[in-house]
Amino acid sequence: MKARRLETAVFRCLAGMLAAIALCGAATAQDDPAPLRAGCVDVAPLCTVAQNGEFHGFMVELARAIERHTGLEIEFEAVRIEDVIRLQNEGQLQILPGTPRLDTLAETNVTSEPVAQSETRFFVLLGNQDLVESGEPEGLNIAYVERGAGANFPQLFENNRVESRNTLDQIIIDLLAGRADASINSELGMSRLLRNLRLDSRVVAAGDPIASEPRLVYIHESRADVLGPVNDAIAAMQASGELAEMRQTWGIDAPDPVPDVLKVGSVGFPPNTINNADGTFSGFAVDALRNLADRAGLEIEFVAIDRAEFRAGPSSGTYDMLPLLGIGPERRERMDFTIPFETFPHSIFTRVGEATGISDLDSLEGRKVGVGAFNMSRTVAQAHGGLDVQVYNGPAAVLNALHTGEVDAILFVSSAMRKQIKEAGLARAIEEVSPPVLSVDGAAALRFGLGSVRERLNAVIPGFLISEDLQDLRQQYFGPPVFWTQTRIYSGVSALAVLFLAMIAFMIWQRLQRYRQQLEIDQQQRELEREQRASEELAKLVTELERSNRELDEFAYTASHDLKEPLRGIAINANFMTREIEPEEIERRVARMVELTQRMEKLISDLLYFSRLGRGESKSTDIDCDHLIRAIEGELRETMQECNASIVIETDLPVLHADPSKLKTVFQNLIVNGLKYNDAAQKAVEIGFQNDVIVNGSSMNRVFYVRDNGIGIEEKQRDKVFRIFKRLHPDSAYGRGTGAGLAFVQKIVEGYGGKITFTARPGGGTVFYFSLPLAQRENQASTDRRENVPP
Amino acid sequence: MKTDPTILIVEDNDDDYEACYHSLSKSSSLANPLHRCRTGDEALSYLLGTDAYANPRPATPCLILLDLNLPGTDGRDVLHRLKIEPTLKLIPVIVMTVSDDESDLRECYSIGASGYVMKPIDIDGFFQSIARLHNHWFKVILQPAPNEKEDEEELDW
């Protein structure tokens, strides 16, 4: 595409040079050339007369091109179609550009090289192209217009049913209805009609042209001198592609096929098309077409075009579409339009304070009115008559003309001019007369041959028209500056939502923070409590340790003193022995020494046992107390018989859970003490178990008692009773002993977490109360027993 | 001179008593009679003139040799009781200790002992201790006769 463009540019350049040469030649050949007169028969797209009297069409444009290339002047005048041949033959008209070969002119006119081909083609319903692809169809119903091009192909009559119709319309209807398989028509007329009927997407030309007639420029023989330059110009235009483009524009040639990506030209006509500096495109029309293309599933790309290209209109050589263009009858001959989706109001603008009395075009009569060159206003203003219409290129020039006083008023597309005024900073100098005086429908413009594209766009335009998208675009590009635009509302709501969320988040965060602080405080408090507990425990431990140390000291003191006693005795006896001479005395001392040695051994073993009681290495089992006591009784039987003693178990005894040997030590020592320190004739030890008892003013639960009828214990000796090796009586009184028994008992009981105490009075016996670990099942059993046992 | 007053020995251990007795009686100049009590209670009965000693009441001893480690009422109890009895509190009490370590000595003096002798393993050492004791109390220190000075509570000896 690019290469072709370059090529085109080079050719144009060459053509320009050739034209210049031709112009020089013409100038020298004829100093004062009279304008060539041309007739306009008002047949689109060849030549039509607009409202404002201007001539349009392929013939006109071709003539203008020839003018540019040759320097000739060509003036058109409207003539009736039945008069044109006569006037040309008579020489009143001297040039007839771009007509098919006309034999009736041959005698008085010369003809140029061909400028185009007039083709005759098959037309079929879309999808039926293969019926005529070969060029020699068979068995078809073929229609043609009477006296039209189709009548000239007799060979088709042999193999097909060929029938004539009165009009093109009838042929199209029959094709659509299936009453004709194909038709034979002149390309130009049929294509144009189909396009105007918007049926060009349904009925299409197919196969190669059946016939091709050249289009020529007829020049009256009186001006045969210009034939050479005209032919040169034609050659140059052919070479540069200018002619081909012209043919494309006016639909003379069959159009190029639909490209994959449609090129949309943007000339930069704010606010409809805005060509941004960074190469992007925006504007109402641009965005609207983007939206439409998106809805229709079309791929488009925008390209910047200049004003010349814009005026030339879309063609396959430059661009395929314009996003939005006012629909005018003349424009329809050069391009295709979608259904309108926008209206262009055109307003009158005046300098501030000069609008009085101006309300419509009538009120502008006799005044100078500025318009844009390629603007619907111009056509309307010129067509209105009575106005002094001044034409300027582009809105800036139009506005400038008003501002500088060149014109009294301007007529222009309202929105575009408002924008121009604002940008020029002339809002206080220029005022708009409302309401607008003219409203032009606007639609997307397409080059010929894009019928399918047009139809796809047309299919989505109604939906687009009622969409919010369109409202938004209008608001965005034409609306008054509204602060609360949709976007801003969305942004505002979003911002509020974000704020709200942020507040919630903040609150949550605060809560969390507070929670964390609380946790920390709790933690610290717990730590403090832990430390306090630890220090309390430490203090307790220290106290315990101190007590333990003190006890150890006392124990060591007592033990060492007591252990020394027999040792000293041995020493004393040994010492005395050395001085003795009597054999009996010596013998007595040796015996005493042996005795002391035994006592010492007993003390040491007791001490060892006592120290071992402190260690928790014993194994606990369930022990039947009755059984245990009976066993002890059995061991003591001889002694008991000697001293007339008895052991009575007064209550049911619970099963204990403890080390059997320790339990035996406890009961044995208490029983033996009860019998040993006893002067009664009937020595008795009574054993029992009580749930509740008050001993020395304090309550005890679940305790054993061992009661004797012995000598009792003096109150002043109370705190000596449990001291190890402490005896209350000399050996001579109640026999020997180490004085360790009750120390053992206390240590065992306390070792099990129990307590031991006693009540006694001298001569009145002693009762020891103590607790021991009960077996698991006894905890329940003892509750039951409580009711059965007398206190 | 009057009759030599009694020296009271409170000692339950026969071996210790024998050793003590020998060392005192071997001292030629010591003519004082000795009386032995085996328990603290007996000693108090003897001193207070109760129970078995009520009639006749024995004379107040001039010196008490007291063992601390006695069955039942021990030396400490005896000494404590003596010191609250006006008629007895002036009797010097020599405590017979097992060791001469500081805690033992402090205890002796804190409960009002006049001195101490250590029960030695080496009997000769014990003899010497008793001899020193004898010299101190009966020769060096001129001591008022306890009987005459019964009521002189202020006497500082």
Percent of chain A's residues with pLDDT above 90: 21
Long-range Cβ contacts of B24-33 (<8 Å, 24+ apart): B24/B130, B24/B134, B26/B127, B27/B130, B27/B131, B27/B134, B29/B134, B29/B138, B29/B139, B30/B134, B30/B138, B31/B4, B32/B4, B32/B5, B32/B6, B32/B7, B32/B62, B32/B63, B32/B138, B33/B4, B33/B6, B33/B7
Domains of chain A, first to last: 488-610 (1.10.287.130), 617-788 (3.30.565.10)
Is the pLDDT at A23 greater than 50, yes or no?
no
What confidence category does residue A379 fall into, taking pLDDT thresholds of 50, 70 and 90?
confident
Least confident span in A153-167, A472-486, A587-601, B51-65: A472-486
What 8-state DSSP symbol labels residue A374?
T
Distance CA A310, CA A299 (A): 21
Contact A568 B98 (CB under 8 A): yes
Task: Supply A439's token pair.
Answer: 């409203």
pLDDT higher at A562 or A515: A515
What 8-state DSSP symbol labels residue A605?
H
Distance CA A702, CA A625 (A): 14
Which pLDDT score is estimated for A21?
44
Distance CA A488, CA A19 (A): 59
Task: Supply A584's token pair.
Answer: 């009996």
Is the pLDDT at A778 greater than 50, yes or no?
yes
Reduce the DSSP state of residue A389 to 3 states and report it: strand
pLDDT higher at A271 or A282: A282
Least confident span in A158-167, A212-221, A314-323: A158-167
CB of A569 within 8 Å of any CB in chain B? yes
Pair A283, A477: CB distance under 8 Å: yes
Torsion on CA atoms A722, A726, A732, A735, rounded to nearest 10: 50
Contact A567 B121 (CB under 8 A): yes
* Cβ-based neighbours of A505, under 8 Å, separated by 6 or more: none
**Per-residue pLDDT tens over the stretch B5-18:** 888 999 988 888 88
Longest CA–CA span in chain B (Å) reads 41
Which pLDDT score is estimated for A365?
87
Q: Is the domain covering B7-140 a CATH 2.60.40.10 domain? A: no
Distance CA A119, CA A190 (A): 11
**A106 backbone dihedrals φ, ψ, rounded to 5°:** -60, -35
Distance CA A522, CA A517 (A): 8
How would you classify the pairing of strands A281-282 and A274-275? antiparallel
Task: Supply A409's token pair.
Answer: 């008023």
Contact A567 B98 (CB under 8 A): no
Is the pLDDT at A12 greater than 80, yes or no?
no
Is the pLDDT at A781 greater than 70, yes or no?
no
pLDDT higher at A172 or A777: A172
User: What are the chain A neighbours of B103 within 8 Å (beta carbons)?
Assistant: 557
CB of A161 within 8 Å of any CB in chain B? no
**Per-residue pLDDT tens over the stretch A53-66:** 888 888 998 999 99
pLDDT (mean) for A628-650 = 88
- Mean residue pLDDT of chain A comes to 84
Which pLDDT score is estimated for B26?
67
Pair A748, A759: CB distance under 8 Å: no
**Residue A656: CB atoms within 10 Å:** 23
Distance CA A135, CA A160 (A): 13
Is the pLDDT at A437 greater than 60, yes or no?
yes
CB of A729 within 8 Å of any CB in chain B? yes
Which pLDDT score is estimated for A401?
92
ipTM, interface predicted TM-score of the complex:
0.78
Instruction: Determine if the peptide bond prior to A773 is cis (ω within 30°).
Output: no
Is the pLDDT at B136 greater than 70, yes or no?
no
Q: Chain A residue closest to B77 (CA)?
A: A716
CB of B67 within 8 Å of any CB in chain A? no
**Per-residue pLDDT tens over the stretch B80-120:** 888 888 888 888 888 887 776 777 778 778 878 888 777 76
Distance CA A292, CA A272 (A): 15
CB of B12 within 8 Å of any CB in chain A? yes
What confidence category does residue A668 fall into, taking pLDDT thresholds of 50, 70 and 90?
very high
CB of B107 within 8 Å of any CB in chain A? no
Most confidently modeled range among A142-146, A318-322, A530-534, B129-133: A318-322
Contact A729 B72 (CB under 8 A): yes
Chain B interface test: which of A552, A568, A570 (most B C-beta within 10 Å): A568
Amino acid at A132: V
Distance CA B129, CA B131 (A): 5
Reduce the DSSP state of residue A353 to 3 states and report it: coil
Which residue bears the tokens 């020599």?
B94
Is the pLDDT at A22 greater than 70, yes or no?
no
